[in-house]
Amino acid sequence: MRLLFAGTPEAALPSLRTLLDSHHEVVGVLTQPDAPTGRGRKLAPSPVKALALEAGVPVLTPATLRDQAVQQQLRDLAPDVAPVVAYGNLIPQAALDIPRHGWINLHFSRLPAWRGAAPAQRAVLAGQRETGMSVFRIEQGLDTGDILTSAPTTIGEFETAGELLERMAEDGASVLLETLDALAAGTATATPQDHALATRAAKLSTAEARIDWTRPAAQVAAHIRGMSPQPGAWTLLDGARTKLLGVEQSPEHAPLPPGRIEATKHQVLVGTGTEVIALSTLAPAGKRPMRAADWARGAALAEGARFTTDQQDGDPA
């Protein structure tokens, strides 16, 4: 089939590579316009655009798909179907009607759970040990279309949202291709979603990423994993913001007061509302991520040092 691929970030690259290598023909790529990046804020193409240009595929980067001239460009490509992976732009009905098989989206949850922008992150934040991927028909509602394919996946005990998303992006490429093959063969089946079971996966915010050390250890650990790598769960140490980016297996240890830090030879333990957790990776203010144990060896922590929730805990701004 003739494919119009729509996607933008790194997470879309495995699917685009798989489709470029398949027996289907990628006749065009839709992606977000070039965006400022880095300290110099120079315009840079999206990862999807860079790969498409390398493959010699025509690329469209419209700010909106409501423009009739843009819609005509899509018609001129004569796509049979438009597979989508993290495109990031609204698709009006006039554009949805162009491919004969419509637009289908690879979504990183088992719908109707976690509709929205951050499904992998929300699953980890909720402490789930299983999630999955869905390929569904795009319609005007937010992730509400009929499901064509659904595949489960486990969530590792210490897996971060970033690691989970990277793994599902790789695994999801074959799920998307299988769905396209079924559409081409006429064997695909569409299952309506049970909207009563829907949950929302809103975009994560920096304010939401703040750590509350009084919560139970399992919830604090899930919060750190779910917010990693972006926006990064954060806390304060001597008034400076520190991002905590991962946890690891903690030893048997007496409880510590919430936020209290205890650095052993090989680990950094922190107290919560219940038992301690062990940090694996963190990023001190203004520095790159590093192993927590390496940070502790050079941090000259005072006895009784603790991470705090906010300035109301008595730390300077």
CATH number for the domain that contains residue 229: 3.10.25.10
Residue range(s) defining the domain that contains residue 230 = 217-313
Return the pLDDT at 156: 98
pLDDT in tens, 64-118: 999 999 999 999 999 999 999 999 999 999 999 999 999 999 999 999 999 999 9
Q: Specify whether 12 is located in the same domain as 150.
A: yes
Domain count, the chain: 2
For residue 226, is pLDDT > 80? Answer: yes
pLDDT at res. 265: 87
Residue ranges for the known binding site are: 109-112
- Segment (H or E) for 68: helix 68-77
Give tens-digit pLDDT for 291-313. 999 999 998 899 999 999 874 44
Q: Could you give the percent of the chain with pLDDT greater than 90?
A: 92
Instruction: Give exposure, 133-144, as e/b (b: 16+ Cβ within 10 Å).
Output: bbbbbbeeeebb
Of 166, 201, 236, the one marking the end of a domain is 201
**Whole-angstrom Cα distance, residue 317 to residue 315?**
7
Binding residues for (6S)-5,6,7,8-tetrahydrofolate: 109-112
Q: Which among 62, 70, 74, 34 has a CA at the least distance from the CA of 50?
A: 34
**Mean pLDDT for the stretch of residues 214-218:** 98
Q: Does 209 map to a domain?
A: no
pLDDT for 46 beyond 90: yes
Beta partners for residue 36, in sequence order: 43
In a domain, 210, yes or no: no
User: What's the rounded mean pLDDT across residues 242-268?
Assistant: 95
In a domain, 131, yes or no: yes
Give the pLDDT of residue 112: 98
Confidence (pTM): 0.93
**pLDDT exceeds cutoff 70 at 180:** yes
